Structure 1
Amino acid sequence: MNAPVAPAETLRAALAVLLDGLPARQAAQAVERLIANYRGATPTDTPILRDRADVAAYAAYRMPATFEAVRSALDAFAAAVPEWVPAGHVDVGGGTGAATWAVSATWDGVRPVTVIDWSEPALALGREVAAANPALRDVRWQRSRIGTALDDTDLVTVSYVLNELTAPDRAALVDAAATAAQAVVIVEPGTPDGYARVIEARDRLVAAGFQVAAPCPHSAACPIVPGEDWCHFSARVSRSSLHRQIKGGSLAYEDEKFSYVAAARFPVTPAPSRVVRRPQIRKGQVLLDLCETDERLSRRTVTKRHGDLYKAARDADWGDDWPPAER
């Protein structure tokens, strides 16, 4: 019997079909323009993704990275709520639906899903790509402005969206998600500004009665001093030919940096501590930078004298729980 195809591979294959017949130069130009637009000022009422060529190029370029970042955040969240499975999902500003793929890769089964976005071409293409994933064939693709009212659901995801909104609209969206959902997962770029938006959202969720499940091991204030550092993580993404054409280089992968918060209205079991930097492996020791349950940052040195813990430290990765066996 053949092994099932992983969702990431299915997604990459579906996206490859989108670019069939689209000249590589046109796709590259569309991606460059769209990236510049997304990094600029807050958008106007005109959708950034204007037509199918725009959407196909940008989806092929960005969906794999968004999928891996959101899946990493959901994996950490799922570890903190091992008995919970969402019965419904609303993806706000979901565009072509990368977060819905990540949810289906995290929890088995079929559930009611709604993707809300202002761009009709993005929704139409998302519907087309989702046909390759049996868990997503009944998704509702809803064209709507990102407003304040959301239908009640178990899980709301908001990925790479807050940057497109004004500060009042960001606050209204987070409040709406907190009102509608039992769990909220927000992902932003792993930049100082992206982290600042995540912390702003985290504070509002905690004020609304949510408990932080990940990445933080507590729901108190973040111990990072604003302006001195920022909390972010990394997800490995296989690079398509379009990625290589846009960015140059020959590596078959790139690392997507992202910041996130996952929180819930119900009890959660967060990690005892979280590895918040890439571990430094030295001769006979591993240095781990950790965010701790007692609301502080620390550096822990694990040596060969620690036996099995040392072996675990050598295998630890940026973003992992620590120690791995305590949950």
Structure 2
Amino acid sequence: MSRTTDYAAALRTALRRAVGAVDERELTRATEALVSRYRSVAPATAPILASRVHVAAYAAYRMPATHAALTRALGVVAARGLEPRSLLDLGGGTGAAAWAAAGVFDTLETVTVLDQVEDALALGRELVVDAPSAALAGATFRQARAGAWPDLEADLVTVSYVLSELDPAQQEALVADAMRRGGSVVVVEPGTPDGYARVLRVRSALVDAGWTLLGPCPHERDCPLAQGDWCHFAARVNRSAEHRRLKGAELSYEDEKFSWVAAMAPSLAETQSAEDLPARILRHPLKRKGFVEFQVCRPDGTAGRELISKKAGERYRSARDAEWGDALP
């Protein structure tokens, strides 16, 4: 198994242990309330994580998918050569991003998760007790509010599935906070049109500040996608028996759709080169006899169709294995 697969399995085990201590009927009711909240278009009138049971339900229901999305995004960043020694996760709750970063980067030495909900932090501390790495097992989970974060810095700052809970001014302030505190910043949101719109605003703020994009975009020009389209990707989540039961699902897997952007501060930009970046695959490839068809975003700032035929030899063989979200071979 790969390192990231090991961490995903360890997280499932930790969740099973933690959630197993919660009364099943209470957990089911809390999960139903959580699902209803996510499906509602009306603004929330009460906190999502209102109690320890709600926190446990949220972790069991959402943490595997959040972890999978972060693992996929951070894997792209790692392929650009990033080797962070420290992680700061703003609004990190139970620590999904911390688990993902520890699984992707074996260079991590310190991990700090900040959130305003103490019950979420307490569960996060419980989950990492037997974590596979010293950095994750020794992670700090500290209570703090957006706009009043402690004066901390890190090589990598993550902000995942948080912006939708804030108004536009608060979103802008949170991104600015992340940029002040990190050498690199990764922001992940749901793979919906609204989530992508928030990611686009973050991308603009990063580019306008002179940061170098690390992914998923192969360029720093305006997004070339047509009106009504949106850039998003998918991460496969293997469901445990408990996860299937909570979701009322039959399949042993699900695909988490997400949008994201990552960038490096100007002071570190000389370590990255924008030259010869590959196109990014934007949809599931169509694999036909003798060729593979891709929809891609290109380094020249355009988006469109690319064909790789059997005549391309080794490139064609790589293309047969390429997936949605990968770099084009």
TM-score by length of structure 1 reads 0.91
**CA distances 1:66-116 after superposition (whole Å, capped 9, x unpaired):** 111001000001111x1x321221101100001001110111144222211
Residue 147 of structure 2 aligns with which residue? 147
Structure 2 equivalent of residue 277 of structure 1:
283
Provide the rounded CA distance (Å) in 2 between the counterparts of 1:276 and 1:238. 22
From the superposition, tell whether residues 223 and 3 of structure 1 become closer, same or farther in structure 2 (CA, over 3 Å): closer
Distance in 1, matches of 2:38 and 2:147, equals: 19
Residue 128 (str. 1) matches residue 134 (str. 2): no
Contact 2:61/2:247, CA 8 A, preserved across alignment: no
Query: In structure 2, do the counterparts of structure 1 residues 42 and 154 end up closer, same or farther at CA, with 3 Å as the change threshold?
Result: farther
SS of structure 2 residue aligned to 1:272? coil
Q: What do residues 223-278 of structure 1 show as CA deviations (whole Å, max 9, x unaligned)?
A: 1134x200000101011234323443421111111000011112334641111111
Q: 1:110 & 1:184 partners in 2: Cα distance? A: 15
Structure 2: which 5+ runs fail to align?
none
Structure 1 match to 2:92: 94
Matching residue's letter, 1:168:
A
Aligned to 2:239: 239
- For residues 43 and 188 of structure 2, the distance between their equivalents in structure 1, rounded to whole angstroms, comes to 18
Report the CA distance between 1:3 and its aligned residue. 10
Q: 2:307 aligns with which of 298, 301, 312?
A: 301
For the residue of structure 1 that corresponds to 2:109, the secondary structure is: coil
- Mean Cα displacement is larger for which, 191-200 or 149-158? 149-158
Residue aligned with 2:220, SS: coil
Q: Decide whether the 8 Å contact of 2:187 with 2:262 is kept in 1.
A: yes
Distance 1:315 1:52 in 2: 43
Q: For 2:119, what is the secondary structure of its paired residue?
A: helix
Could you say which residue in structure 2 is the equivalent of 1:203?
A: 204
Letter in 2 for 1:312: S
The reply to whether residue 178 of structure 1 matches residue 179 of structure 2 is yes
**Alignment deviations for residues 142-197 of structure 1 (CA, whole Å, 9 cap, x no partner):** 11111165522211100100000011000011111112211000000111111111
Whether the aligned pair in 1 keeps the contact of 2:87 and 2:108 (CA below 8 Å) is no
Are 2:59 and 1:59 aligned? yes
CA distance in 1 between counterparts of 2:178 and 2:21 reads 39
Q: Summarize the Cα distance change of 1:160–1:264 in structure 2 as closer, same or farther, 3 Å threshold.
A: same
TM-score, structure 2 as length reference: 0.90
Determine if contact 1:117/1:142 at 8 Å carries over to the other structure.
yes
SS at match of 1:321: coil
User: How do residues 1-327 of structure 1 correspond to structure 2 at under 5 angstroms?
Assistant: 6-38=6-38, 40=40, 47-80=47-80, 82=81, 84-133=82-131, 134-147=134-147, 149=149, 150-226=151-227, 228-265=228-265, 266-267=268-269, 268-269=272-273, 271-323=277-329
Q: 2:279 is matched by which residue type in structure 1?
A: S
For 1:231 and 1:316, locate their aligned partners in 2 and report how far apart those are by CA, in whole Å: 18
Q: CA 1:287–1:245 in 2, change beyond 3 Å: closer, same or farther? A: same
- Label 1:247 to 1:269 Cα distance change in 2 as closer, same or farther (>3 A): farther
Distance between the aligned counterparts of 1:90 and 1:322, measured in 2? 31
User: Do the aligned partners of residues 105 and 269 (structure 1) sit closer, same or farther apart at CA in structure 2, a change above 3 Å counting?
Assistant: farther
How far is 1:21 from its partner?
Answer: 4.0
Structure 1 segments (4+ residues) deviating >6 Å: 2-5
- Provide closer, same or farther for how the CA distance between residues 3 and 201 of structure 1 changes in structure 2, counting only shifts above 3 A: closer
Measured in 2, the distance between the counterparts of 1:96 and 1:77 equals: 23
Contact 1:42 1:164 in 2 (8 A): no
Give ranges in structure 1 of 5+ residues lacking alignment. Answer: none
**Match of 1:305, SS?**
helix
